[in-house]
Homo-oligomer: A and B are copies of this chain.
Amino acid sequence: MKGLLKKSGLKVTDNRLSILEVLKKSSAPLTAEDIYKTLENEKHMSFSTVYRSLNAMLDAGILLMQVNQDSKQYFQLNTNEHKHIIKCIICKEAVNVEFCPMKEIEEVLAKKTGYKITGHSFEFTGICPNCQKNSQKYSKKH
């Protein structure tokens, strides 16, 4: 983790290393608040430091960021295996989509539009198996 920061010309600080650790351990992209709360017990770090660190590492290409349907920014490590989620509209639980089908779509799109594609974000919403079971009460709404 230290190497990532050095390579980008960012200073190596405890705060940044902690944030990277949290992201590394997480199986899904996290919000600034998620990270703040995770570290709360362990050490003191202000909200603005979380945001500023995330943005610095985002600019440096160490992280990826996407805005989900809840209007919040979600951050994850920029490895070759980035993650997308599917989120239950009832219980709000999110699970990872275990594949990213965008590579081929991006190629088609580049040809059609002439754009050079640099990124994508997507999110699915649905009803998880559990909520489907208990969802008679929701069945009036399509």
- Whether A1 is near chain B, meaning CB under 8 Å from some CB there, is no
Report chain B residues within 8 Å CB of A127: 115-116, 118
Closest chain-B Cβ to A108's Cβ sits at a distance in Å of: 8
**Interface range for A:** 35 or more
**Residues 100 to 137 of chain A near chain B (Cβ within 8 Å):** 101, 105-106, 109-110, 112-129, 132
Given contacts A67-B71, A68-B67, A121-B123, contact A114 B128 (CB under 8 A): yes
A95 touches B113 (CB 8 A): yes
B69 touches A121 (CB 8 A): yes
Q: CB-CB contacts of A66-104 with B at 8 A, as 1s and 0s? A: 111111010000000000001011000001011001000
Quick one: closest B residue to A84, CB to CB?
B122
A residues bordering B, Cβ < 8 Å? 61, 66-71, 73, 86, 88-89, 95, 97-98, 101, 105-106, 109-110, 112-129, 132, 142
What are 19 sample pairs from A and B whose C-beta atoms fall under 8 A apart? A67-B68, A67-B69, A71-B71, A88-B115, A97-B113, A101-B101, A101-B105, A106-B124, A113-B126, A114-B128, A115-B124, A115-B127, A115-B129, A116-B127, A118-B126, A120-B122, A120-B124, A121-B123, A122-B122
